[in-house]
């Protein structure tokens, strides 16, 4: 099974993908193409996506049973001890600026603050 998700991509690209995949919702395509066709479709998506974003997910023989690729996403797949995880950057924290471990972050519950700092 192969899934391609397009966001803010040209309509012509969506029409191109409907030749081989079924569009089950606007911008969401599923099907079972061969690996060669899947790679060719992904190359076309990357070439013609313009300012849009794209995501490709498909079955593989791995621990997770699937893998995925992204195009122009802020979230990126990373390998962590053989598992593919998504790295989501935190837009609220500037890079390289790490809070000190003794300062609780905003949004902590009062109970969590009490446990951490021993207060009442």
Q: What is the CATH number of the domain that holds 52?
A: 3.30.70.240
Domain contains 94: no
Residue numbers of the domain that contains 83 = 2-89
45-102 confidence digits (pLDDT tens): 999 998 899 999 999 988 899 988 999 888 888 888 888 888 888 877 665 555 555 5
Q: How confident is the model at residue 16 (pLDDT cuts 50, 70, 90)?
A: very high
How crowded is residue 58: how many other Cβ atoms within 10 Å of its Cβ? 19
Q: Could you tell me what percent of the chain has a pLDDT over 90?
A: 50
pLDDT over 90 at 119, yes or no? no
Domain contains 43: yes
Tell me how many domains the chain contains: 1
Domain contains 84: yes
Domain contains 37: yes
Domain contains 99: no
Which positions ≥6 away from 1 have C-beta within 8 Å? 30, 31, 32, 58, 59
Judge whether 13 and 48 are in contact, CB under 8 Å: yes
> pTM for the full model?
0.71
pLDDT over 70 at 24, yes or no? yes
């Amino acid at each position: 099974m192969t899934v391609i998700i397009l966001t803010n991509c040209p309509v012509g690209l969506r029409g191109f993908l409907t030749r081989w995949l079924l569009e089950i919702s606007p911008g969401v395509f599923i099907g079972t193409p061969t690996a060669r066709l899947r790679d060719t479709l992904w190359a076309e998506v990357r070439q013609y996506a313009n300012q849009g974003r794209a995501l490709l997910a498909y079955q593989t023989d791995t621990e997770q049973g699937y893998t995925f690729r992204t195009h122009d996403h802020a979230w990126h797949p990373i390998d962590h001890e053989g598992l593919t995880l998504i790295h989501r950057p935190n837009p609220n924290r500037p890079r390289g600026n790490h809070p000190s471990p003794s300062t609780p972050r905003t949004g902590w519950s009062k109970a969590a603050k009490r446990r951490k700092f021993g207060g009442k």
